[in-house]
Amino acid sequence: MADGAVLAFDRREYSRFELDALAGGMATVLAGRGVRAGDRVALMSSTRPEFVVALHAIWRLGAAAVLLSPSWRQAEVRHALALTAPSHAVGDSPMLAELMPMLRLDEPITAGDPRCDAPAADSDAVLAFSSGTTGMPKAVRHTHRGLAAAVRQWRAALGLSAADRLQVMTPPSHILGLLNIMTVLDAGAWVRLHPRFDVDAMLRHIESDRITVEMTVAPIALALAAHPRLETYDLSSLRYLMWCATPVTVSVAEDVTRRTGVGWVTAYGATELVVIACDDLSGGQLDTVGRPVPGVDVRIAASGEIQVRSEAVMAGYLPAEETATVIVDGWFHTGDIGHLDASGRLRITDRCKEMIKVRGFQVAPAEIEAVLHSHPAVADCAVFGLPDPRDGEAVVAAVATNSAVSDSELIDLVSDRLASYKRPSRVVFVPEIPRLPSGKVLRRVLKERLWTSV
């Protein structure tokens, strides 16, 4: 019913009316601090109900939310702030509070008027982050119109209704986590938020909350497959398990299905266009990412690159000049190589971009290389990804040195400066880094040389 619970966190539940009233109260506070239509507000928060409240409070004022990952280090946050120039901040991050005045989410929120006018459809709603060609993240601008289209497409692809119940363990600062929350609320369904991933908590709540759709990425799927007592949980409420963000490890998926009786559905998207393809809910093919969802056009260029057109595509990047090479005549160039098979399903075979995809996050080699180059013992280096059954890809650094240094010292250097998912899993010492005369690293050559050693 309309006043029923739609969101749960720990032992508390929130109705739609309560969330709207809390958003109204926070909007009043933000307006008192000077937030106006057209402003950008930095939002750096752990996964909690107040994130949802803050997001809607920002939108009530006609402002845009700049989504900062709570896993970022200070250099990454400083770069994002410089790129997007937010005038205000909301969150629970001590780091962000050090960099600019911040409304703290731990402060009590007084309920306000739950009614609000819809923001302008073509105004910016969120600025999420994807890796730039220079190595540091670039901002991806999504309008309210574009996000609404993505929600409609995702809701239809998932077959979501008010009877569904989901839980979200991926951070809402990541576009997939945000989309899942928005889609559940749009459908009038129910969602539980978790502060972090814990496989036992996940299984307990599938059972106790009667979860109907479970979102996973590779690490979650592997944790399910490795769980010694998986069969002891009652997972009969699940309609399906969704595998997103990384390629499916077929053997892992099949093992989970064998032990639980629950099937999988695959999906494909990008930060710039969140929903591209999704397979049949009644059972698809694990070695594809499904068919293009209604409202999304897919074509394969002569180069084999997958190109996509949709109302939900991003409005553009910051820096703005990076947009023109990615969206051409309305078509988004994904950088992925693939083809449509005879059944109309999309198969991804390669990626022409050099980005490394770790647990659904894009990692730019140049960003890690810049940190490694700062060490006096590093003469040259190159970073690339290799297939990893747990994380999709593993970050590997090839390093040529001019003095003694240990691999652990270099890994710790990256860990101290960048988010944990950017940490190299292995450092391989090489006599030199193969490069073209122009200076471009021959990553494919390097990967082929080191494949067997890594």
Contact (Cβ atoms closer than 8 angstroms) between residue 187 and residue 160: yes
**What is the secondary structure of 310-379 as a DSSP string?**
ETTS-SEEESGGGSTTTEETTEEEEEEEEEE-TTS-EEEEEESS--EEETTEEE-HHHHHHHHHTSTTEE
Same domain? 290 vs 422 = no
Three-state secondary structure call for residue 36 = coil
**Per-residue confidence (pLDDT) for residue 55, from 0 to 100:** 98
CATH code where residue 445 lies: 3.30.300.30
pLDDT of residue 320: 95
What's the pLDDT score for residue 189? 98
Domain span at 142:
5-351
At residue 170's C-alpha, the angle toward residues 348 and 226, to 5°, is 75
Question: Both 296 and 438 in a single domain?
Answer: no
E-strand stretches of 69-219: 88-91, 103-104, 124-131, 137-143, 165-168, 190-193, 213-216
Final residue of a structural domain among 351, 367, 383 = 351
**CATH code assigned at 187:** 3.40.50.12780
Residues 154 and 225 in one domain: yes
Integer Cα distance of 143 and 129 in angstroms: 14
Those residues whose C-beta lies under 8 Å from the C-beta of residue 70, and which sit 6 or more positions away, are 44, 45, 46, 93, 171, 173
Is residue 261 a contact partner of residue 123, using CB atoms and an 8 Å limit? Answer: no
Q: Checking DSSP bridges between strand 356-358 and strand 361-363, what pairing results, if any?
A: antiparallel
Number of CB atoms found within 10 A of residue 210's CB: 13
- In this structure, the answer to whether residues 268 and 414 fall within a common structural domain is no
The closest alpha carbon to 222, from 191, 237, 194, 243, belongs to 243
User: What pLDDT, on a 0 to 100 scale, did the predictor assign at position 8?
Assistant: 98
Last residue of a domain, one of 323, 351, 379: 351
Cβ-proximal residues to 346 (8 Å cutoff; 6+ apart), any chain: 268, 276, 277, 288, 289, 290, 291, 292, 298, 306, 338, 339, 340
What is residue 452's predicted lDDT score, i.e. its pLDDT? 56
* 345 and 373 within one domain: no
Shared domain for 385 and 309, answered yes or no, is: no
What is the pLDDT, as a whole number, of residue 450? 78
Rounded CA-CA distance 219/55 in Å is: 28
Number of domains in the chain: 2
Do 429 and 347 belong together in one domain? no
Strands 88-91 and 124-131, bridge-based pairing: unpaired
Please indicate, yes or no, whether residues 331 and 433 belong to a single structural domain of this protein. Answer: no
- 270 with 363, same domain: the answer is no
Query: pLDDT tens for residues 158-167?
Result: 999 999 999 9
**Which of 306, 321, 351 is the C-terminal boundary of a domain?**
351
User: Are residue 279 and residue 296 in the same domain, yes or no?
Assistant: yes
- 245 with 161, same domain: the answer is yes
Specify whether 320 is located in the same domain as 423: no
| Distance of alpha carbon 212 from alpha carbon 392, whole angstroms | 25
Strands 264-268 and 277-278: antiparallel
Nearest to 287 by CA among 203, 335, 348: 348
Looking at residue 400, its pLDDT comes to: 93
Could you read off the pLDDT tens digit of each residue along the chain, which spans 454 residues?
345 999 999 999 999 999 999 999 999 999 999 999 999 999 999 999 999 999 999 999 999 999 999 989 999 999 999 999 999 999 999 999 999 999 999 999 899 988 888 899 999 999 999 865 456 789 999 999 999 999 999 999 999 999 999 999 888 998 999 999 999 999 999 999 999 889 999 999 999 999 999 999 877 888 899 899 999 999 999 999 999 877 787 888 999 999 999 999 999 999 999 999 999 998 789 989 999 999 999 999 998 999 999 999 999 999 999 999 999 999 999 998 899 999 999 998 877 777 888 988 888 888 899 899 999 999 999 999 998 988 999 999 999 999 999 999 999 999 999 999 999 999 999 999 988 765 678 887 888 887 755 5
pLDDT at position 437 is: 61
